Chains A and B, each alone.
Chain A
Amino acid sequence: MPLTTLWVLPLVGAASCALSGSRAKYAALAFSAAFLGAAGMAGWLQHASGASSAVAELGPSWAYGISYRLSADSLSMALIALTAFLNLVCVAASWELDVPAGYWACFLALASALTGVFLARDLFLFYVFWEATLIPMFFIIGLWGSGNRLHAALKFFLFTFAGSVFMLLALLALVCAHHRAVGVWTWDLAALDAGALGGAAPLAFWGLVLGFAVKIPMVPLHTWLPDAHTEAPAAGSVMLAGVMLKMGVYGLLRVAFPLFPVLSWEALPILGGLAAFSTIYGALCAMAQTDLKRMIAYSSIAHLGFCLLGVLSRTSQGLAGGALQLVNHGLTTGALFLMVGFLYERSHKRGLSDFGDLASRAPHLAFFFGFSTLASIGLPGLNGFVGEFMALSGALSALPVLAFAGLLGVTLAAAYALPAFQAVFWAPAGPGSVSGKITDLVARERAVLWALCALMLWIGAAPMPWLAWFEPSLRGLVR
């Protein structure tokens, strides 16, 4: 199956949603399901075709060596499958919302752009897809968000765009230097060599890293995230946390590490230090929040810190754990954001003190929320633990101090997640509470959450198939 299908299919879906007016959500559902089917099939074919081979596709080339070059290994495939899965989850979760056709079109367009990012092997193409993801997300936050949505959308756009500019500069420097040295224009990731940059290499490396670090986000470049998450609609938060944050780590793995193998290793103390700091800082900030969504947003910062710790260690278990954690975080945080969205749909509130006693009023919701919370704080047997454990194990062998700091983050995770759970589900409803408006989950919502929770349990109890799948695409990065 041509890889082009993978990103064109949701784009066609977006167009047909936009054209089908009031029946847009059916088109969205159909195309999302088809996309998930296609992504699953492509992943399976890739897996079956042999361990190490990445499916490649080369199209026409244009001026300055820009070419249409796609390829997918297991890492790309996993992230595309995650995109497709969460996209379907978002469509199913938003089913009853009263939104225009544009809403559905934006989600499919976003899925298309994200898929493109994970497929592109031409850096120009990569950059185009990278920036293209901003547009639908800008509209999702700005049009269908809550309260202060315009400010949040603008902040999100400008902040991440500013980061990407440095990335673009670094890429341009790289391509020009390569042209000067070899005499050939190319944007091909595999053909470029950072050696041509000479003394400017560190500058280009840090430019790239800056672009990726904003997306991850790494403290102190994270302040766009709490606002964007808080104001985005639930499904938007799911895509934002579930997939868009992963682009940063993916960029490091796919672009920065292979292009700058030495520099990226030398940067470990700085980047690893920031990652470890992010885990503690994110956890402490999450503890101080009184808004459920903000709390989960800050916890994302902490979780991505674990990912980075593993990935930066450049050991086989660290990379595997970090990569698995990319998927894990998408599932657990996605589930949590969805449930906060369900609460918000019913009550238009999301403060910790706005609820109470929900364990009695909405036992299904309590079960799923508790389950996802436990997965998110790294309970062994559920998915979060596998990634955290392997990532920390890798970090310990690379730079022990980092692992120690990361462990503190693991400990702190319970200190923000459980009090929040208790405040919403266990504590009695306070005087201003809106718990009376909360009805328990309907079958559609339960089905979505069962799918997410089943995956969490599967990855946690038997992660071996996933690890084995990732292994070939990470092997080359092991130091």
Chain B
Amino acid sequence: MTAAQVPLAAWLLFAAPASAILFGFFVMRRVKPEWTHLPILLSCAVVTGASFWLAADVYAGHSFDLNLFRWAEAGAFGVDFGLRVDGPGAAVLAMVSLVGSLIHLYAAGYMKGDAGFSRFFLVFHLFLLAMIGLLTANNFVQLYLFWELVGVASYLLVGFWFHKESARKAALKAFLTNRVGDFGLLFAVLLIVLQFKVTHFHLLYLKAGSGASFELLPLIGVCLIWAACAKSAQLPLYFWLPDAMEGPTPTSALMHAATMVTAGVFLLVRSWPLIAAVEGLPHLVAWIGAATALFAAVVAGSKKDLKRILAYSTVSHLGLMMLALGLGRVGAALFHLIVHGFFKAALFLCAGNIAHALHQPTASVDDVGGLRASMRLTFAAFLLAALSLAGVFPFGGFFSKDAILDAAWHHGGALAAAGMLVAAGSAFYIFRMLFLVFLGARPEQRAPRVHEAEPVLAVPVLFLALGAALAGLLKAPIERFVVVGMRGLPSGLPELSVVLNLPGEPFLPRLDWLVAGLGLLMAALGALAAWRLTMSDPGFDWRWRGGFVEAAFESDFGWKTVVDLCASAVSRTAVYVGNSLDRRRLDGLVEGTAGCARAAGAAIARSAQGRVNDYLWWMAVGAALLLARALR
């Protein structure tokens, strides 16, 4: 296959957003900034069409992976850039472009009238373009390129309202934390170059599957996991994500559902054959995922800010995906990633509708209550998405979460228990949020008079919620998709089982009624607990606060404090090195030489001040020395 055979759709994936952004930047921004979104929305439509077209191709068995041009070369070192459209990539791509486009549409309404409207849309679309590049990269260097571009776009969007100090801080925190993670990815890529001499995924799969042992592989695996922990907000690097909602709500939706945090999971999917080849690493991933999922679910149940609840929920669900990955269920992780994209986008946009109706950038449970009557469409969308998130049959989340619970259950032990607890926790926090926001106004809450969101805001949300509800239907197609998509790749790719390390198991598990029943029971328990603590005892959420318990929850059980200490240690070191060490000591030494020279000069000058006495003494000394020498 040559560059000429790349399907038109694949070119469009890049050409449409790139030209929309350039046109917007150079033309629309000057001529008619309030119309900047029009070419971009057009590009969204093109991208969605193109990615579904590619998905159909992949479904029919026409995956492809080819190099387009040599990016850099020196001696034996060479990196090619190319395109890889295969099962996992095309499946996530289709979700990202569809969900992303709906969020773009929503943003056109949400951001209307904002002073930075055109800037917002340009960066927003760049965000999507970066994610498309990441999903279609065919080697690690290219993936790193788009990985960083995703990070920059998110930085600019989180800091979009840069007049707010909190937004500036959150943007910096997000970028720097991700940078700490990127350290891992860059190191991993460099190690891959050193160990394998290539960065191309498919060549790496072949090498890793060849059975030879590679001494650096464990280190590479750890670095990749570290990188994924930062981008996908896992312990210990998750803390940037809850703060990152300082950007406009569409940003949060895009970031949580489609373009940012999924990148880490996708990185692990792409590098799974490398990680799975090292004993113990999959377990590490599973444990990180389980711990994060449980921890974030607990914290999410205590938050008041609507977007913050959802942010911790994202952390928790990403943990579930990591758990699935760690247990070798790449398919389950991908499936949950796709379903999660729908329900999380819907939930964020519902929160956005509420904030928009209140004319606030964000809302907390203190501000709202009993919105069911006044915001019916939003309530319906929220309910559908919440049911999906909680994993209630027959909504989408049930199927994807069940696949993960099934894996954990059959693994047994603490991971199985963690899976079930997360199922209960998810139901608890999302129903707590639902009850607090939409049902009954409590005395502690302001029950504002609000209007339902206008159609441009409501319609995309409804579509996303419907997607979240119906995504369960995708189970069989996605399975076939990934299986066929991997088989369709040409030129001697090993069989799927080697690539994804699934010895002889079905890609997604069959429904196991015991696990499904247990999962539903846990969800019911969670929902019941939420009812008990918000409806039967409406004042509880305000009563328990204050004191040590809330402080513990607010500091994420101390982890935030530790992180702050680390950050301030670095900046204090910098101040010490920059001011005391460099300026005073080192430069003081250098400047001191000038002082020494001057002092020495002055000292010598004192001995030559033109007094005859001095010179006579010097003469006497010299004569004595000469005499002494002559006499010896």
Contacts and interface: CB of A to CB of B under 8 A. Distances in A.
Contacts of A159: 590
Given A159-B590, A389-B141, A285 B582 contact: yes
26 contacts: A223-B582, A223-B587, A281-B582, A284-B573, A288-B577, A315-B77, A316-B75, A357-B163, A381-B145, A389-B141, A389-B186, A393-B190, A403-B190, A407-B186, A408-B183, A411-B183, A415-B570, A415-B574, A418-B175, A422-B159, A462-B71, A463-B71, A464-B71, A467-B74, A468-B73, A471-B74
A414 B190 contact: no
Contacts of A471: 74
Interface string B145-162: 100110010010001001
B70 A422 contact: no
Q: Give the dominant DSSP class at A's interface.
A: helix
A321 B190 CA distance: 14
Contacts, number: 134
Contacts of B31: none
A427 B168 contact: yes
A320 interface: yes
Given A298-B578, A317-B77, A407 B187 contact: yes
A316 B72 CA distance: 12
B12 interface: no
Contacts of A223: 582, 586-587, 590
A281 B72 contact: no
Given A288-B576, A393-B190, 6 more contacts: A220-B586, A374-B152, A416-B574, A422-B171, A468-B73, A471-B74
A392 interface: yes
B607 interface: no
Interface string A265-308: 00000000000000001001111110000000010000000000
A252 interface: no
A426 interface: yes
B179 interface: yes
Nearest to B78: A317
A221 B152 CA distance: 35
Interface string B56-82: 000000000000011111111100000
Contact of A287 (B148, B155, B578): B578
A385 B182 CA distance: 13
Contact of A380 (B144, B162, B172, B183): B144
Contacts of B186: 389, 392, 407, 410
A414 B73 CA distance: 27
Contacts of B179: 411, 414-415
A418 B172 contact: yes
B203 interface: no
Contacts of B155: 418
Contacts of A397: 194
A128 interface: no
B193 interface: yes
Nearest to B179: A414
Interface in A373-426: 374, 379-381, 385-386, 389-390, 392-393, 396-397, 403-404, 407-408, 410-411, 414-416, 418-419, 422, 425-426
Given A223-B582, A287-B571, A288-B577, A396 B194 contact: yes
Given A285-B582, A390-B77, A426-B162, A418 B176 contact: yes
Nearest to A294: B578
A6 interface: no
Contact of B175 (A155, A357, A414, A464): A414
Contacts of A408: 183
A287 to B, nearest CB: 4
Nearest to A370: B156
Nearest to A422: B168
Contact of B72 (A386, A426, A427): A386
A135 interface: no
Interface string B178-191: 01101100110011
Contacts of B591: 155
A408 B574 CA distance: 14
Contacts of B578: 284-289, 298
Nearest to A463: B72
B23 to A, nearest CB: 17
A416 to B, nearest CB: 8
A65 interface: no
Interface in A315-367: 315-317, 319-321, 357, 359
Interface of A: 155, 159, 220, 223-224, 281, 284-289, 298, 315-317, 319-321, 357, 359, 374, 379-381, 385-386, 389-390, 392-393, 396-397, 403-404, 407-408, 410-411, 414-416, 418-419, 422, 425-428, 462-464, 467-468, 471, 478
A298 B155 CA distance: 24
A287 B569 CA distance: 13
A415 B191 CA distance: 24
A426 B164 CA distance: 9
B473 interface: no
Given A223-B587, A422-B159, A467 B73 contact: yes
B42 interface: no
B579 interface: yes
Contacts of B180: 411
Contacts of A284: 573-574, 577-578
A456 B39 CA distance: 27
Contacts of A404: 187
A253 B590 CA distance: 28
Interface in B573-624: 573-579, 582, 586-587, 590-591
Given A393-B190, A403-B190, A281 B74 contact: no
Interface centre among A289, A389, A478 (most CB of B within 10 A): A389
A407 B75 contact: no
Contacts of B590: 155, 159, 223-224
A443 to B, nearest CB: 14
B152 A285 contact: no
Contacts of A285: 574, 577-578, 582
A371 to B, nearest CB: 11
Contacts of A286: 578
Contacts of A411: 179-180, 182-183
A416 B571 CA distance: 10
Nearest to B572: A288
Contact of B148 (A281, A380, A386, A468): A380
A220 B165 CA distance: 37
B504 to A, nearest CB: 38
A393 B194 contact: yes
Contacts of B193: 393, 396
Nearest to B587: A223
B172 A316 contact: no
B72 A464 contact: yes
B127 to A, nearest CB: 14
Interface centre among A281, A380, A385, A411 (most CB of B within 10 A): A380
B77 A393 contact: yes
B369 to A, nearest CB: 34
A293 B597 CA distance: 30
Given A380-B148, A415-B176, A426-B159, A319 B74 contact: yes
Nearest to B162: A426
Contacts of B582: 223, 281, 285
A205 to B, nearest CB: 24
Contacts of A462: 69, 71
A380 B72 contact: no
Contacts of B571: 287
A287 B576 CA distance: 10
A346 to B, nearest CB: 21
A289 B582 CA distance: 11
A101 B369 CA distance: 74
Nearest to A414: B179
Interface centre among B162, B182, B191 (most CB of A within 10 A): B162
B162 A381 contact: no
Contacts of A410: 183, 186
Given A223-B587, A381-B145, A316 B76 contact: yes
